Amino acid sequence: LPPTRLLYLEEPFRLEASARVLEVRQEAEGLCLVLDRTVLYPQGGGQISDRGRVEACGMTLDVVQARLVDGVVEHRGDLTGERPSPGLEVRVRVNEPLRRLHSRLHSAGHLIDVAMRGIGCPFPPTRGYHFPDGPYVEYAGSIVPEKRDSARAALDAELDRLIAAGSEVQVRMAEPAELPALRGLVSAGAPKSGPTRVVTVAGELGCPCGGTHVRNLREPGRGRVLKLRGKGGNTRISYAVG
Ligand SMILES: [Zn+2]
């Protein structure tokens, strides 16, 4: 199958598009559809999959998960109505309230990266889990136990400041040569050739990221650091939004 065109990369705020069915698979848990293009964000990069709908005359697939497998997005869910056939023209639509929540959670993770540097802990980020059920970010570097409470308070204050100041989230394509100068999880998943999508929050240099984001940093609402704890030589920060 040809790679699915990932419309969310080109037009991050587009919620609906027409598409064509390329493959239909009946699986034990439900139906799996491959489309030529999609607005749904497939699970990855620490962000949970979008939910949404694929619709045509006489059929609706309530998509519970989208996954990117070898460049192809598989939409899995529950079918109502007639089983679609390859070639069928459909509308694909994102569940907007959930997309907003996922974008707020993801952007908040980037904001914590900026806040960590702001409070004098410029540790390299090693992991981000921006799912609604207990989001956290992790950094290579530890804060001594007796300073963790004050670091947590400082982080909260810095997040308040950044959110109140507000600023547009910038998304652009960067050439591979630019990447070494950028912070974040650069070496982990960045392709070696071709441009990489780079997301910049709060005027920072930016980091490679394929996820979905808010337009303005005010949108996550008040960010809160729930827990700051050491984990081996790492620091894990659990957080909440809004
Ligand atoms: Zn990101």
Ligand 1 centroid, distance to 3 Cα (angstroms): 22
Q: By the 8 A CB rule, do 131 and 48 touch?
A: yes
Ligand 1 centroid, distance to 111 Cα (angstroms): 10
Note the pLDDT of residue 161.
93
- Tens of pLDDT along 180-213? 777 554 444 445 567 788 888 888 878 888 899 9
- Tens of pLDDT along 129-173? 999 999 999 999 999 999 999 999 999 999 999 999 988 999 888
Ligand 1 centroid, distance to 28 Cα (angstroms): 33
Ligand 1 centroid, distance to 57 Cα (angstroms): 36
Residue 7: helix, strand or coil by DSSP? helix
Beta bridge partners of 16: 93
Looking at residue 127, its amino acid is R
Q: Which residue has the higher pLDDT, 56 or 202?
A: 56
Ligand 1 centroid, distance to 2 Cα (angstroms): 26
**Residue 206, both tokens:** 């930016």
Ligand 1 centroid, distance to 130 Cα (angstroms): 9
Residues around the ion ligand 1 (C-beta < 5 A): 209, 211
Ligand 1 centroid, distance to 209 Cα (angstroms): 4
Note the pLDDT of residue 196.
82
Ligand 1 centroid, distance to 128 Cα (angstroms): 8
User: What does the pLDDT average to over 117-125?
Assistant: 93
Q: Which long-range contacts (CB under 8 A, 24 or more apart) does 161-165 make?
A: 162/111, 162/114, 162/115, 162/118, 162/202, 162/217, 163/111, 163/217, 163/218, 163/220, 163/221, 163/222, 163/223, 164/218, 165/202, 165/217
Ligand 1 centroid, distance to 198 Cα (angstroms): 9
Ligand 1 centroid, distance to 145 Cα (angstroms): 28
Ligand 1 centroid, distance to 59 Cα (angstroms): 34
Ligand 1 centroid, distance to 108 Cα (angstroms): 9
Ligand 1 centroid, distance to 27 Cα (angstroms): 31
Looking at residue 143, its amino acid is I
- Tens of pLDDT along 103-113? 999 999 999 99
pTM for the full model? 0.91
Note the pLDDT of residue 234.
95
Note the pLDDT of residue 22.
98
